């Protein structure tokens, strides 16, 4: 465990710990801010004693291990919690995916809370192809059929037929009209007959199990809605630069900072759910014979994949 995490958990200030260790507060600050291969063995051993073995010498020389994974999980959880807090308030968040996937950032907001001003902001800074990720159950309820019978897109994005809200809209392309459509999709009192097809909003069907089954923006949007206690329908669109190129990497971070938007990654959501969801269910047990005598076999399965192991 890193020293700064231990201090936070123990409720101890850096000054108090410096006094116990017999070093300056600046030394403790340096130890909390990064690796410290320069530290003496005696000091490292003393820190291990004061922290009851929670902070070891390896934590100061940059060696990776289980404790580094613990820190990574904690940091991911903090980012997800910040994103959920903003999301539940109806704010737009920026969600990034893996470098080896699309390597892009999407603007995501809950469909049930989206405003015309937010829709205009999304259209202004993105490709303009506004999509609404939703669950399979919602797609079936609203009779949103797949856009094509055979989906061979690179990432298997599950587009349905596009829609516009039937009531009170004009061409369907304005920010007001698109907002009316996405909010109607998230309204349980609105049915399939309340939409016209085709339209200017593109629903996407998320995989059951969310980001644990597919690490895409579609699933991230639905997971954010569920975790925030909102209807499981989001609004997403890919960020693009003014020259039309896709916004990637540091450009996404700079955009989020410029506009004061909370940023989170699909990888963060995966770690967050892995730490909290029940991922394995016991399916049953059975007797088996082995060269060493009778034994008992136990079968397990995951909630989203019914194959038993």
| Cβ contact 173:128 at 8 Å | no
pTM, two decimals, is 0.75
Least confident segment among 29-33, 221-225, 233-237: 29-33
Question: Pairing between strand 105-110 and 131-134?
Answer: unpaired
Rg (CA), the chain: 25
Q: What are the domain boundaries of the chain?
A: 3-63, 71-274, 279-309
The angle subtended at Cα 129 by Cα 124 and Cα 135, nearest 5°, is 125
CA distance 122 to 108: 9
Give the whole-angstrom CA distance, residue 213 versus residue 185.
24
At 67 the pLDDT is: 59
More confident residue, 38 or 63: 38
Is residue 281 within 8 Å of 139, Cβ to Cβ?
no
Average pLDDT over residues 186-195: 98
Q: What is the pLDDT of residues 155-164, one digit of tens each?
A: 889 999 999 9
Predicted local confidence at residue 243, as pLDDT: 94
pLDDT of residue 153: 87
Q: Which has the minimum average pLDDT: 56-60, 145-149, 278-282? A: 56-60
**How many angstroms separate the CA atoms of 152 and 148, rounded?**
9
Give the mean pLDDT of the chain: 90
Given CA atoms 114, 118, 122, 123 in this order, what sign does their dihedral have? positive
Single out the residue of 187, 216, 195, 200 nearest to residue 110, CA to CA: 187
Answer for the pair 266, 215: CB distance below 8 angstroms, yes or no: yes
Residue given tokens 């136990």 in the structure block: 298
C-alpha 119/C-alpha 130 separation (Å) is 9
User: Can you give the pLDDT at residue 287?
Assistant: 93
Q: Quick one: CATH architecture of 71-274?
A: Alpha-Beta Complex (3.90)
User: Any idea which of 34-38, 89-93, 209-213, 244-248 has the lowest mean pLDDT?
Assistant: 34-38
Contact present, 161 and 265 (Cβ < 8 Å): no
Higher pLDDT, 39 or 189: 189
CB 32 within 8 A of CB 3: yes
Cα separation, 239 vs 232, in Å, equals: 22
What token pair was written down for 9?
A: 């958990």
Question: CATH classification of 3-63, choosing from 1.10.260.40, 3.40.50.150, 1.10.150.50, 3.90.580.10?
Answer: 1.10.260.40
> Binning pLDDT at 50, 70 and 90, where does residue 207 land?
very high
Asked, colleague to colleague, whether 3-63 and 71-274 share their fold, the answer is no
Provide the pLDDT confidence category of residue 255 given band limits of 50, 70 and 90. Answer: very high
Tokens read off for 239: 């960020």
Structure tokens at 121: 């902001």
pLDDT tens for 59-90 read 766 545 555 667 778 888 999 999 999 999 99
């Amino acid at each position: 465990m890193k020293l700064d995490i231990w201090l936070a958990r123990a409720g101890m200030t850096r000054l108090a710990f410096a006094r116990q260790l017999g070093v300056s507060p600046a030394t403790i600050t340096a130890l909390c801010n990064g690796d410290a291969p320069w530290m003496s063995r005696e000091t490292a051993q003393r820190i291990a004693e004061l922290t009851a073995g929670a902070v070891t010498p390896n934590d100061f020389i940059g060696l990776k291990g289980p404790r580094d994974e613990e820190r990574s999980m904690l940091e991911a959880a903090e980012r997800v919690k910040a994103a959920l807090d903003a999301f539940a308030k109806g704010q737009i968040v920026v969600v990034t995916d893996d470098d080896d996937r699309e390597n892009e950032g999407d603007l995501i907001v809950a469909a049930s809370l989206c405003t015309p001003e937010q829709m205009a902001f999304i259209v202004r800074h993105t490709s303009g192809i506004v999509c609404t990720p939703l669950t399979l159950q919602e797609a079936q309820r609203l009779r949103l059929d797949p856009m094509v019978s055979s989906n061979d897109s690179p990432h298997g994005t599950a587009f349905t037929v596009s829609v516009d809200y039937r009531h009170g809209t004009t061409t369907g392309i304005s920010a007001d009209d698109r907002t009316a459509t996405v909010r109607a999709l998230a309204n349980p009192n609105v049915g399939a007959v309340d939409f016209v097809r085709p339209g200017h909003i593109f629903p996407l069907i998320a995989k059951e199990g969310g980001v644990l089954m597919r690490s895409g923006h579609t699933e991230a949007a639905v997971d954010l809605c569920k975790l925030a206690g909102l209807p499981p329908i989001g609004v997403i669109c890919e960020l693009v630069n003014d020259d039309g190129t896709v916004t990637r990497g540091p450009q996404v971070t700079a955009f989020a900072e410029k506009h004061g938007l909370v940023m989170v990654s699909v990888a963060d959501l995966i770690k967050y759910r892995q730490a909290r969801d029940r991922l394995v269910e016991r399916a049953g047990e059975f007797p088996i014979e082995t060269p060493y005598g009778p034994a008992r076999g136990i079968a397990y399965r995951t909630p989203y994949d019914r194959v038993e192991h």
